[in-house]
Structure 1
Amino acid sequence: MPKMKTHSGAKKRFKTTGSGKLKFMRAGTGHLNEHKSSRRKRRLSVDGVLSPADAKKARKLLGK
């Protein structure tokens, strides 16, 4: 059997923490930030952690 290729979209979006959880960056911070409140930008700057059900799917795409 050939090796599974890592899903290139998933590898750009998710990082694995030391404890094995999957982190992702929140949407809405890329551009058009001038009119967004500081509170909103600060809240979106914190990385999120995938829920266990979604993490299972993402881990499969990452080949882990």
Structure 2
Amino acid sequence: MPKMKSHTGMGKRVRLTGKGKVVAQQAGLRHNLEKKPSTRTRRLSGTVQVAKADVKRIKKLLGR
């Protein structure tokens, strides 16, 4: 049986922490930034933990 290949696109979008949590960039910071308040853009700038419902699928794509 062949080896499972990891999904390289998913590897560029998320990363695993040392404890195995999946973190990703927060959505909503790509365009229309002039309209959004500075407080909102600062809040969106960091990384957040991925929703629990998506973790199993993402880890499978990463080959974990």
Asked if these proteins are the same fold (TM beyond 0.5), I'd say yes
Identical residues among aligned pairs (%): 48
Question: For residues 1-64 of structure 1, what are the structure 2 equivalents within 5 Å?
Answer: 1-64=1-64
Unaligned runs of 5+ in 2: none
TM-score by length of 1: 0.85
TM-score by length of 2: 0.85
The alignment covers a number of residue pairs equal to: 64
Output the aligned Cα RMSD: 1.3
Off by >3 Å, runs of 4+ in structure 1 = none
Match of 1:5, SS state, is: coil
Larger deviation: 35-44 or 24-33?
A: 24-33
